[in-house]
Structure 1
Amino acid sequence: MIKLEGITKSFGSLQVLKGIDLEIDKGEIVSIVGPSGAGKTTLLQIMGTLDAPDSGCVLIDDTNVSRMKQKALSAFRNSHIGFVFQFHQLLPEFTAIENVMIPAFIAGMSSSEATKRAAEILDFMKLKERASHKPNELSGGEKQRVAVARALINNPAVILADEPSGSLDTHNKEELHQLFFDLRNQFGQTFVIVTHDEALAQLTDRTIHMLDGVIQ
Structure 2
Amino acid sequence: MISAQGIEKQFGDLKVLKGVDLTVKQGEVVSIVGPSGAGKTTLLQILGTLDKPNSGSVFINDTEIQSLREKELARFRNENIGFVFQFHQLLPEFTAVENIILPALIAGKNKSKSEKKAREILNFLNLKDREHHKPAELSGGEKQRIAIARALINDPDVVFADEPTGSLDSKNQEELQKLFFSLRDEFNQTFVIVTHDLHLAHLSDREIKMKDGIVI
Partner of 2:55: 55
Counterpart Cα distance in 2 of 1:67 and 1:41: 22
Q: Which amino acid aligns with 1:204?
A: S
Partner of 1:142: 142
Paired residue secondary structure (1:90):
coil
Q: Which amino acid aligns with 1:105?
A: L
Counterpart Cα distance in 1 of 2:169 and 2:201: 17
Partner of 2:212: 212
Partner of 1:25: 25
Structure 2, unpaired ranges of 5+: none
Partner of 2:195: 195
Paired residue secondary structure (1:87):
coil
Counterpart Cα distance in 1 of 2:95 and 2:154: 18
Q: Which amino acid aligns with 1:48?
A: G
The residue correspondences of 1:94-109 to structure 2 (distance < 5 A) are 94-109=94-109
Counterpart Cα distance in 2 of 1:100 and 1:13: 40
Partner of 2:119: 119
Counterpart Cα distance in 2 of 1:61 and 1:189: 14
| Number of residues of Structure 1 aligned to a counterpart in Structure 2 | 216
Structure 1, unpaired ranges of 5+: none
Counterpart Cα distance in 2 of 1:173 and 1:104: 27
Partner of 2:8: 8
The residue correspondences of 1:147-186 to structure 2 (distance < 5 A) are 147-186=147-186
Instruction: Show CA shifts across 1:45-98 (max 9, x none).
Output: 000000000001000011101110000000000010000000000000000010
Paired residue secondary structure (1:58):
strand
Identity %: 64
1:68 aligns with 2:68: yes
Deviation at 1:126, TM superposition (A): 0.5
Counterpart Cα distance in 1 of 2:43 and 2:142: 28
Q: Which amino acid aligns with 2:178?
A: Q
Counterpart Cα distance in 2 of 1:76 and 1:120: 24
Deviation at 1:200, TM superposition (A): 0.4
Deviation at 1:176, TM superposition (A): 0.3
Q: Which amino acid aligns with 2:17?
A: L
Counterpart Cα distance in 2 of 1:80 and 1:184: 16
Deviation at 1:186, TM superposition (A): 1.1
Deviation beyond 6 Å, 4+ runs, structure 1: none
Deviation at 1:188, TM superposition (A): 1.0
